[in-house]
Structure 1
């Protein structure tokens, strides 16, 4: 049996670039990568890539609320990466609150 060829994915019509949309969402609002992904319509990994570029372009105006472990309360304050860590270095728990982002 042959399957139907998949139709090409048509990108969403945008009036702004993806990064401008993310910047406008984050100005004055605290959102996680999952929240941004749902509102902009791209994957979470793409959001993190865009946030890296936004952090460089805005010269430290991007404020990151660090992730924290729900089991022991460890906070990942010194973490440079913007994504969520896999597990806590103290208790090895995987129950970690997602980091959130905002622009001052």
Structure 2
């Protein structure tokens, strides 16, 4: 199927399946032309929900605090504004990959 006929979610799915390394929401925005970071996170969340019934799994590389080094756990994909431990705003964004289930 041509990418011009794919939905935004299908394009994100294809991109994250094909990439060799994890991508941030901003990188996904640049490649797909999406304008809002939250829209990328919403699509990834729904891809993760539907992965329970599909043959792929969404891999989340959690955000890390660049000050204290702690990993920040997330219930839903998003970019945290501050570290819950040290309150630093120097937090790396989460990264995502999609791979086939074993």
Bucket of the pairwise TM-score, normalised by the shorter protein: 0.7 to 0.9
Measured after TM superposition, the shift of residue 52 of structure 1 is 1.1
TM-score by length of 2: 0.82
Q: 1:23 aligns with which of 13, 37, 41?
A: 13
Query: Could you tell me which residue of structure 1 aligns to residue 28 of structure 2?
Result: 36
Select the structure of larger CA radius of gyration: 1
3-state SS of 2:69 partner:
coil
The alignment yields a C-alpha RMSD, in angstroms, of: 1.6
Query: Could you tell me which residue of structure 2 aligns to residue 45 of structure 1?
Result: 38
Displaced runs of 4 or more, over 3 A: none
List runs of 5+ in structure 1 lacking aligned partners. 1-12
List runs of 5+ in structure 2 lacking aligned partners. none
TM-score by length of 1: 0.80
Question: How many aligned positions are there?
Answer: 91
Measured after TM superposition, the shift of residue 28 of structure 1 is 4.4
